[in-house]
């Protein structure tokens, strides 16, 4: 199954959870947030959220300013 992480194509197994993808990819978000298909996903949902074919996952860092 194909997804995109920060614009790069990744092949993953079907029914993979967000938490598994991050762990297997050795991806540490730190204070960054995660958006799937431009929708924020809470960290508390990573273990429950299943990635789907074609999902676009983006690591989003907070910015200060006004």
Provide the domain count of the chain. 1
Q: What is the pLDDT of residue 30?
A: 87
On whether the CB atoms of residues 53 and 4 are closer than 8 A, the answer is: no
Q: Is residue 33 part of a domain?
A: yes
Domain that residue 48 falls in: 2-60
Q: Is residue 65 part of a domain?
A: no
Q: How far apart are CA 5 and CA 3, in angstroms?
A: 7
Which pTM does this prediction carry?
0.88
The confidence band for 66, taking pLDDT boundaries of 50, 70 and 90, is low
Q: What is the mean pLDDT of residues 41-66?
A: 92
Q: Is residue 9 part of a domain?
A: yes
Q: How far apart are CA 61 and CA 55, in angstroms?
A: 19
Q: What is the pLDDT of residue 65?
A: 77
Q: For the chain, first and last CA: distance in Å?
A: 40
Q: Is residue 43 part of a domain?
A: yes
Residue 63, pLDDT above cutoff 70: yes
CATH code: domain of residue 9: 3.10.20.30
Q: What is the pLDDT of residue 31?
A: 86
Tokens of 59: 């690591």
Residue 20, pLDDT above cutoff 70: yes
Q: Is residue 66 part of a domain?
A: no
Q: Is residue 42 part of a domain?
A: yes
């Amino acid at each position: 199954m194909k997804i995109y992480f920060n614009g790069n194509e990744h092949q993953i197994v079907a029914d993979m959870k967000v938490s598994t993808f991050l762990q297997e990819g050795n991806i540490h978000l730190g204070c960054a947030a995660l958006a799937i298909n431009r929708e924020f996903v809470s960290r508390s949902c990573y273990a429950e959220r299943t990635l789907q074919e074609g999902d676009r996952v983006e690591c989003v860092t907070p910015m200060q300013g006004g």
